[in-house]
Amino acid sequence: MNKIFVSGSVGASPQVSYTPKGQKIVTFPIWVEEGGFSIDVVFAGEPTFSEATTRTGKRVLVAGALAAMKSQSRNLLKVRASKILAMEE
């Protein structure tokens, strides 16, 4: 089972792109204060969260799975999100 829950602050404005078949892909980094690291979140499909949820600096909880993705000559770990929830400040 590959299930992960990560909470942190949205590090930058989400980038939206589309696959050749028209599927929406939303990508943004979150900063995990307790670990002192940033990890990219990738959400495919129509978001179930609002744009206000992913404003820079907003605290979120991301549920999903770790995914190894190749970028140029190295492998990167990202979170393939299934749910993104806003956290109360």
How is the chain split into domains, by residue range?
4-86
Distance separating alpha carbons of residues 63 and 73, to the nearest angstrom: 28
User: CA torsion sign, 5 to 74 to 71 to 58?
Assistant: positive
Q: Looking at the domain 4-86, which fold is it? A: OB fold (Dihydrolipoamide Acetyltransferase, E2P) (2.40.50)
- The torsion angle over the Cα atoms of residues 29, 33, 35 and 38, rounded to 10 degrees, is 10
> What does the pLDDT profile of the chain (89 residues) look like in tens digits?
789 999 999 999 999 999 999 999 999 999 999 888 999 999 998 877 777 788 899 999 999 999 987 777 677 889 999 999 998 76
Alpha helices in the chain (DSSP H): none
